[in-house]
């Protein structure tokens, strides 16, 4: 079997691949060619990769990594590991559309800060993954790159806006990914595609060079958090450390050590969980897998309690919209009636009155209103922080259901015979918990009877991302973990 058709390469862990490269069991070229072959073979079906570097240039970089190894030089823990990143991150020479139809030919001549850190660690950035329209949807589809399909069932959605990232991981196009989350954009795709992801503590990772709109000031300074995606917790820890511990270039990111407050061997953890949020009943298929997981951890851990932080979901959704709407208005420089435009666009596209109202309020905010919103955000962050003084983690669902069939954005869904607002399938599980800024890890817990993966959110205390990942690693044995999609199992039989 050639290196290009070896599933033990494309679905191997990063820590294993890195070891094999450094011990010269595999060359960087072999590993890179294997992932490129998988993309060539399946991307027409999945459509996760939106832009890919020239093959020859990629292989030339892999050859250079091999030459360095021959000289005894290892750039870092990701030396020779090929990977893709979300469309919104600036990568020199690749399209950064940000999901914006006006930026489909936007090719930056520089790298985002996190891309620099990945390259410095030895990673080979081979391409970009698809993004939702305006990075503002839980399905990944746009008119220029097209629709991304779920590797477990191409008739189903992949989540959004980092949907291409999650699908690329599940399909074996990349062993690692880099995403962004402001309202579930890492969490929902990880859930839908059966992979792992982390929305890091707000301000932990630099956002320079992400979602850049030429000629506009930097937007999304609050609530937007970057994070890695992987196919197991150990790889996610490795990736997060690389992203966290690079050279400090920007003063807006506090120099907080990644491995502070580590989980000690044998340390008991207190677990809180919720069966649903805002009385949004889970689909029967998702609920069955979720309840089974909760029962397993109840058996394994002594302190598991059904409880949650004290907050009003609608109030936090309004606050999310007031903050995001203020940024939206800044992007409409020179255009009048910003509040009306924001409210109308959201109402027409997503058919969700509360979200539309909140975005309209935010777009019409003055400086005093915005400052009050930030005060409220700080208060809520303290409130959640106090909850995590009592409980180490809080486990919640990621959405109302597993990945559903491709669906018109904003059109009501039918879940178990009941009509459900499209946005309500996601908002209660993601918008309110974005606002406090704490870290959230998504882990896959199992598959429905139809074979569709589902995950859970594991919330933790601000600035304790490493500890949260360690706790998620303790939970991992009680899950199925990542499972190769049947469509991709063809690789093993060829």
How is residue 79 written in tokens? 């030396």
Q: Is 318 within a domain?
A: no
How is residue 106 written in tokens? 């936007």
DSSP-derived secondary structure letter, 200? P
Strands 177-181 and 225-230: antiparallel
Q: Is 18 within a domain?
A: yes
pLDDT of residue 247: 76
Distance CA 113, CA 249 (A): 8
Q: Is 342 within a domain?
A: no
Domain total of the chain: 1
Q: Is 113 within a domain?
A: yes
**Sequence-distant (≥ 6) Cβ neighbours of residue 387 within 8 angstroms:** 272, 308, 309, 310, 394
Q: Is 373 within a domain?
A: no
Q: Is 175 within a domain?
A: yes
Q: Is 370 within a domain?
A: no
Q: State which residues form the domain around 119.
A: 3-307+391-493
Query: Helix 367-390 to helix 313-331 angle, to the nearest 10 degrees?
Result: 140
* Per-block mean pLDDT, blocks of 10 residues, the chain (494 long): 68 98 97 97 98 98 98 98 98 97 96 97 98 96 97 98 98 98 98 98 96 88 96 98 86 90 95 95 98 98 97 97 91 80 91 94 94 97 98 98 98 97 97 98 98 98 98 98 92 53
How is residue 279 written in tokens? 């009385």
Cis, bond preceding 161 (omega within 30 deg of 0)? yes
Burial 278-288, CB ≥16 within 10 A → b, else e: eebebbebbbe
Q: What one-character-per-residue DSSP string does 322-353 give?
A: HHHHHHHHHHTTT-S-HHHHHHHHHHHHH--H
Yes or no: say if 480 and 447 are a contact pair by the CB < 8 Å rule.
yes
pLDDT of residue 2: 45
Distance CA 311, CA 380 (A): 8
Q: Is 327 within a domain?
A: no
Half-sphere exposure of 182 (CA within 13 A, CB side): 22
pLDDT of residue 269: 97
In CATH, what number is assigned to the domain containing residue 213? 3.90.1300.10
pLDDT of residue 249: 76
DSSP-derived secondary structure letter, 424? G
* CA neighbor of 167 nearest in space, from 245, 86, 240, 110: 86
pLDDT of residue 3: 46
Distance CA 43, CA 128 (A): 12
């Amino acid at each position: 079997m050639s290196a290009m058709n070896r599933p033990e390469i494309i679905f191997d862990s990063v820590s294993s691949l890195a070891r094999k490269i450094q011990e010269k069991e595999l060359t960087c070229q072999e590993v890179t060619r294997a992932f490129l072959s998988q993309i060539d073979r399946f991307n027409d079906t999945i459509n996760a990769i939106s832009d890919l570097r020239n093959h020859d240039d990629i292989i030339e970089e892999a050859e250079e990594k091999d030459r360095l190894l021959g000289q005894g030089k290892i750039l870092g823990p990701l030396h020779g590991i090929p990977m893709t990143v979300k469309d919104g991150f600036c990568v020199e020479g690749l399209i950064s559309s940000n999901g914006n139809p006006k930026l489909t030919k936007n090719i930056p001549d520089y790298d985002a800060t996190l891309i620099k850190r990945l390259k410095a660690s030895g990673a080979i950035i081979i391409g970009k993954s698809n993004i939702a329209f305006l990075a503002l949807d839980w399905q990944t589809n746009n008119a220029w790159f097209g629709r991304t399909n779920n590797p477990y069932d191409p008739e189903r959605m992949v989540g959004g806006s980092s949907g291409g990232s999650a699908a690329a991981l599940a399909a074996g196009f990349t062993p690692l990914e880099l995403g962004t989350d402001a309202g579930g954009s890492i969490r929902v795709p990880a859930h839908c595609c059966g992979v792992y992801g982390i929305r890091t503590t707000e301000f932990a990772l630099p956002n320079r060079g992400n979602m850049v709109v030429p000629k506009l000031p930097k937007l999304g300074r609050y609530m937007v958090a970057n994070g890695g995606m992987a196919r197991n917790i150990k790889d996610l820890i490795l990736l997060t450390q690389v992203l966290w511990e690079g050279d400090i270039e920007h003063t807006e990111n506090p120099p907080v050590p990644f491995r502070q407050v580590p989980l000690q061997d044998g340390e008991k953890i207190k677990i809180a969980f919720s069966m649903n949020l805002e009385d949004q009943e889970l689909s029967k298929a998702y609920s069955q897998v979720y309840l089974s997981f909760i029962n397993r951890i109840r058996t394994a851990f002594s302190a598991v309690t059904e409880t949650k932080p004290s907050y009003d979901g609608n109030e936090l959704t309004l606050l999310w919209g007031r903050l995001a709407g203020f940024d939206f208005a800044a992007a409409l420089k020179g255009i009048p009636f910003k509040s009306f435009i924001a409210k109308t666009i959201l109402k027409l596209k997503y058919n969700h009155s509360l979200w539309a109202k909140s975005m309209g309020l935010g777009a019409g905010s003055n400086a005093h209103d915005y400052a009050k919103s930030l005060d409220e955000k700080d208060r809520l962050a303290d409130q959640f922080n106090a909850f995590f003084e009592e409980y180490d983690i809080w486990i919640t669902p990621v959405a109302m259901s597993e990945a559903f069939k491709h669906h018109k954005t904003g059109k009501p869904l039918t879940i178990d015979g009941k009509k459900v607002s499209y946005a309500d399938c996601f908002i209660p599980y993601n918008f309110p918990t974005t606002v406090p800024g704490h870290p959230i890890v998504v882990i896959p817990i199992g598959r429905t009877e139809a074979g569709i993966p589902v995950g859970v959110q594991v919330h933790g205390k601000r600035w304790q991302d490493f500890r949260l990942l360690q706790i998620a690693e303790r939970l991992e044995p009680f899950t199925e973990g990542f499972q190769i999609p049947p469509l991709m199992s063809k690789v093993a039989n060829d």
